[in-house]
Amino acid sequence: SLISLTSVAFLLRGNCKHVRTKDSPPNICGFNLILVPDIKICRLVNVKTVIPMVQLLNWRRGLFPQTKMAAPLTLVLILSVTIRAVLFRSSLAELISERVEVVSPLNAWKRGLFCYYVLQENNISLFFQTPLVIYLFHFVVDYAEIVFMIVDGITAVALYLAVQNYNKNVFRKQKYALEADRYPHDCLELMRSPKEMHYIPLKVAMFYLLNPFTILSCVAKSTCGLNNAVMALFILSTLKGSALLSAIFLALATYQSIYPLTLFAPGLLFLLQRLYIPVNPCRSRFWFFTVQYSVMFIGSLLVIVCLSFFLLGSWDFIPSVYGFILSVPDLTPNIGLFWYFFAEMFEHFRFFFICVFQINVFFYTIPLSVKLKEHPVFLIFMQIAIISIFKSYPTVGDIALYMAFLPVWSHLYRFLRNIFLVSCVLLACTALFPVLWHLWIYAGSANSNFYYAITLLFNVGQILLVSDYFYAYLRREHHLSQGLYLRRKDGSEATLVLK
Partner 1 sequence: MGLLSDPNRRKAITTARILILNMILVLHGDSVVCYLAGIAWFMGLAFEPFTLRTYMSENAMGSTMVEERFPSGERALATAREFAAHKKKVGGMPVDWLVKTMRAQGLEVFTQSFSRNLPFPDESKERFVVRGTNVYGILRAPRAPRTEALVLSAPCSPGNSNNQAVGLLLGLAQYFRSQIYWAKDIIFLVNEHDLIGVQAWLEGYHHTNITGMGYTPLQGRAGSIQAALSLELNSDVVTSLDLVLEGLNGQLPNLDLANLFHAFCQKLGILCTIQGKLQRSDWDTVEGYTHSAQTMLLMVLKQASGRPWGEHGLFLRYHIEAASIRGVNSFRQYKTDATSIGRLFEGMVRKLNNLLERLHQSYFFYLMPSLTRFVSIGYYMPAFGLLTTILLLRALDLWVHLGTPTPVTEDGVGEGESPSSPGLLSVLTPVVISHLTGVALYTLPVLSQEMAVEHFPVSETEAVVLTAIAIYTAGLALPHNTHRLISGEGTEQGWRVLKLVALLYLAVLLGCTALINFSLGFILAVTLVPAAACVTPHVPKALSAVAMVLLSPGCTILYCVFLFQELQEVPVSLAEGWMLFLSVISQGILDHALYGSLVYPLLALLVYPCWLLFWNILFWK
Residues of this chain that interact with partner 1 (CB under 8 A) are 16, 19-20, 22, 48, 51-52, 195-196, 199-200, 203, 406-407, 410-411, 413-414, 417-418, 420, 424, 427-428, 431-432, 435-436, 438-439, 442-446, 464, 467-468, 471, 495-499
The CA–CA distances, whole Å, from 229 to 244, 264, 416 equal 17, 17, 29
Count of beta carbons in the 10 Å neighbourhood of residue 125: 17
Beta carbons within 10 angstroms of residue 91's beta carbon: 7
Nearest distance in Å: CB 414, partner 1: 5
What distance in Å separates the CA atoms of residue 142 and residue 242, rounded to the nearest whole number?
A: 34
For the beta carbon of residue 498, count every other beta carbon within 10 angstroms: 9
* Polymer length in residues for the chain: 499
Cβ contact 53:191 at 8 Å: yes
* Concatenated DSSP letters of 237-268: HHHHT-HHHHHHHHHHHHHHHSGGGGGHHHHH
CA separation (Å) from 243 to 133, 271, 298?
Answer: 24, 7, 13
Picking from 204, 200, 203, the residue whose alpha carbon sits closest to that of residue 168 is 200
The 10 Å CB-count burial string (b at 16+, else e) for 262-300 is bbbbbbbbbbbbeeebeeeeeeeebeebbeebeebbeeb
Rounded CA gap, 489 and 499, in Å?
Answer: 21
* Distance separating alpha carbons of residues 341 and 348, to the nearest angstrom: 14
Query: What is the nearest approach in angstroms of partner 1 to the Cβ of residue 410?
Result: 6
Contact residues for 386 (Cβ-Cβ < 8 A; gap 6+): 262, 361, 364, 466
CA angle 313, 317, 322 (to 5 degrees): 155
Q: Who contacts 209 (Cβ-Cβ below 8 Å, separation ≥6)?
A: 76, 77, 79, 80, 152, 153, 156
Rounded to a whole number of angstroms, the distance between the first and last alpha carbons of the chain is 44
Q: Check: CB of residue 413 under 8 Å from CB of residue 476.
A: no
Is residue 396 within 8 Å of residue 456, measured between CB atoms? no
- Cβ 361 to partner 1 shortest distance, Å: 19
Which of 331/446 has CB closer to partner 1? 446
d(CA 131, CA 161): 30
Measured from the CB of residue 156, what is the shortest distance to partner 1 in angstroms?
17
